[in-house]
Amino acid sequence: MATAAIPIAKPRSFLGRLIGGDEIAFAITWTASASILLVTVMLVWQLWSRSSLARAKFGLDFLVSRTWDPVAVQFGALPFIYGTLLTAVLALLISVPLGVGAAIFLSEMAPRRLSDIASFLVELLAAVPSVIYGLLAIFTLIPLLRTYGEPFLHNTLGFLPFFQGPMYGVGYLAAGLILAIMTFPFIISISREALMDVPNDQREAALALGATKWEATWQAVVPFARLGILGSVFLGLARALGETMAVTMVIGNTPTISASLFSPGSTIAASIANEFAEASGDVYLASLILLGLVLFLLTIVINGLARLLILATTKKGTSV
């Protein structure tokens, strides 16, 4: 691109560029870039080839079988896939309304200075390491859930299958809550940017028609930025799916499938963290690597969707 923008300089010969150093600089930077491609291809290849034993033995049944039994050497990923999706969805159910609400406040209501400070704080929230969320969850969130949160839900909404069964504190609900907190920053900061990019005409037109501030925001501004907001939701989802430490510290690590949110469960990432170092036997190890591959594919699909959506809003700049 840059070359096209130089109309005056006459093209140098290859030798001239070599002596000038341009070709060398090109080669060095190209190599650095290419190494990223190489290492990513290697990563995919290693996950693929090292999981071949499990793929050959279980095939697609791996994705739908509920048995995870190292003794019988039978491995099915369904409990982990279920736990991964359930906790991620639970997290988003909490974090999307709160996050988008906060983003609306920061972009539409708050004075610029306050908005900047708040979004700076939110970005710091994104920098807190996940093991620290786990540490806090073990010693605060779980006892609170066990003594107050879960009994309360059980007493008020206990007729629903989601809020039945024994209350341990650890389980899907705890994992969902901690993931909600961890996805806040993504949703708030990206939604806020998308909302702030909405042209002012959009707001003024709605206000001029007699809309209240909220109506203008909800009916004219938010729809305009909806793709960006959706993109932020997908980014949050990708983060929630791949999160390991905070989840493994609070979920109970049991390969079961249960409708109750109080039940202990496990996720793909948590089970790898728990079992990878000690998996004895080739098929067991291959199955764990295959789990890694499944998680990898899941997150790149979600990430890809998120980027497409964000790109679509920033490029077109109009609502579709």
Partner 1 sequence: MSRLGLRLCVGVASLTALTFGALAAQTITAAGATFPAIIYGKWFEQFRQKDPSVQINYQAIGSGGGIKQLTAGTVDFGASDKPMSDEEIAEVVKQRKFKPLHFPTVLGAVVPIYNIEGVTKELKFTGDALAGIFLGTVTKWNDKAIASANPGVKLPDQAITVVVRSDSSGTSFVFTDFLTKVNDAWKNKVGANAAPNWPVGLRAKGSEGVSGQVKQLPNSIGYVELTYAIQNNMGYGSVQNSATKFIKAELASVTAAAAGAAASMPEDFRVSITNAPGAAAYPISTFTWLLIPDKISDPTKKKAITEFLSWMLTTGQQSAAPLHYAPLPKQVIAKEQKAISLIK
Partner 2 sequence: MDARTRRRYAVNSLMLGLTGVCTFLTVSILFLILGYLVYNGGKALDWDFFTKLPLPPGEPGGGMANAIVGSIKVIFLASLIGIPIGFLGGVYLSEFGGTAFPHVIRYTADLLNGVPSIVIGIFAWIVVVVPMGHFSAWAGGFALSLMLIPITLRSTEQFMRSVPQSLREGALSLGASKWRTVVTVVIPASLSGVLTGMILGVARIAGETAPLLFTCLNNQFWSSGFNEPTASLPVMIYNHAIAPYEDYHRQAWAAGLVLLSMVLVSNIAARLVLSRGTARR
Which residues are registered as beta bridge partners of 69? 74
For residue 261, give the nearest of 114, 117, 154 by alpha carbon.
154
8 binds partner 1 (CB under 8 A): no
Query: Among residues 25, 43, 69, 259, which is the contact residue for partner 1, using CB under 8 A?
Result: 69
Stretch of residues binding partner 1 (CB under 8 A), selected from 11-19, 35-43, 67-75, 299-307: 67-75
For 141, the token pair is: 């969130």
Task: Output 186 or 284, the one with its CB closest to partner 1.
Answer: 284
Stretch that binds partner 1, among 28-36, 141-149, 226-234, 310-318 (CB under 8 A): 141-149
Give the torsion through C-alpha atoms of 109, 112, 114, 120, to 10 deg. 110
Residue 202 in the binding site for partner 1 (CB under 8 A) = no
- DSSP state for residue 290 in the 8-state scheme: H
Residue 308 binds which of partner 2, partner 1, none (CB < 5-8 A, kind-dependent):
none
Start-end of H helices in the chain: 14-20, 22-50, 52-58, 61-64, 78-104, 112-127, 130-136, 142-144, 150-157, 172-196, 200-208, 213-215, 222-224, 226-242, 245-250, 268-275, 282-316
**In the set 279, 307, 312, 314, which binds partner 1 (CB under 8 A)?**
279
- With contact defined as beta carbons under 8 Å apart, do 286 and 52 qualify? yes
DSSP of 50-112: HTHHHHHHHTTHHHH---EETTTTEE--HHHHHHHHHHHHHHHHHHHHHHHHHHHIIIIIS-H
Which one of residues 1, 9, 72, 320 is an interface residue with partner 1 (CB under 8 A)? Answer: 72
Amino acid identity of 181?
I
Rounded least distance, CB 68 to partner 1, Å: 8
Contacted by 94, from partner 1, partner 2, none: CB < 5 to 8 Å by type: none
Q: Which is nearer to partner 1, 118 or 136 (CB)?
A: 136
**Whole-number minimum distance, CB 169 to partner 1, in Å?**
7
Please choose, out of 31-39, 142-150, 238-246, 287-295, the segment that lies near partner 1 by the rule CB under 8 A. Answer: 142-150
Among 128, 138, 207, 211, indicate the residue that binds partner 1 (CB under 8 A).
138
Among 233, 264, 268, 313, binds partner 1 (CB under 8 A): 264
Contact between 280 and partner 1 per CB under 8 A: yes
Structure token pair of residue 184 = 């806040």
- Which one, 164 or 225, has the nearer CB to partner 2? 225
Query: Interface with partner 1 includes 196 (CB under 8 A)?
Result: no
Question: Choosing among partner 1, partner 2, none, which partner's interface includes residue 279 (Cβ < 5 to 8 Å by kind)?
Answer: partner 1
Rounded to whole angstroms, the Cα distance separating 285 from 291 reads 10
- Interaction site with partner 1 (CB under 8 A): 67-72, 138, 142-143, 146, 166, 168-170, 252-254, 264, 266, 274-275, 277-280, 285
